[in-house]
Amino acid sequence: MLDHVSIGVRDIKVARRFYDAALKPLGYECLAPGEDSAGYGRKAIQLWLGQTEHPVKADPKSGLHFCFVADSRKAVDAFYAAAIKSGGKDNGKPGVRADYSANYYAAFVVDPDGYRLEAHCEKTA
C-alpha cells in the first residue's frame, strides 16, 4: 500500500547514528545518505529522514508508531539492543505479544526525536 514514509528529525547526524545501528540487524541500510536527509531500505528506500526546523512533535499517546519487519526473533533482539545502545529508549523489551497473536514477537523503542518504533516477526525461531 505505501511506497515510503518520511519523518522529520532535529539533527540528521544524531538520527543517522541511531537508525544506522538500529536498522542494521533487520537488514536495512542507508541507501541515500545526504547532508540533511537519509533514505533507508533493503533494495529500495522505504523510510526517509529529513532534517527540519519543526519536526512533528512526538506524542506517546497519539498511537503513532512505525513497525519494521524482522526476519527472525534474533533480529528483533538485535534491533532492540542496537537501538538502546545508540540512544533509543525502552518502550517494551523483546518478547511474545500473545494478545496480538500466538507467534507475534516484538520489541519497542523510542528514537532520539521521540518517535515510537517497533520491530516484529511472526516466526517461532
CA-based torsion, 78, 81, 85, 88: positive or negative: positive
User: 3-state class of 50 per DSSP?
Assistant: strand
**Would you mind telling me the total number of residues written for the chain in this entry?**
125
Q: ∠ at Cα 93 (20, 100), nearest 5°?
A: 105
User: What pLDDT is attached to residue 124?
Assistant: 83
What pLDDT, on a 0 to 100 scale, did the predictor assign at position 23? 98
**What CA–CA distance (Å, rounded) separates 7 from 13?**
14
Is the Cβ–Cβ distance between 121 and 72 less than 8 Å? yes
pLDDT tens digits for the chain (125 residues)? Answer: 889 999 999 999 999 999 999 999 999 999 999 999 999 999 999 999 999 998 888 888 888 999 999 999 999 999 999 999 999 999 999 999 999 999 999 999 999 999 999 999 998 86
Domains and CATH numbers, the chain: 5-121 (3.10.180.10)
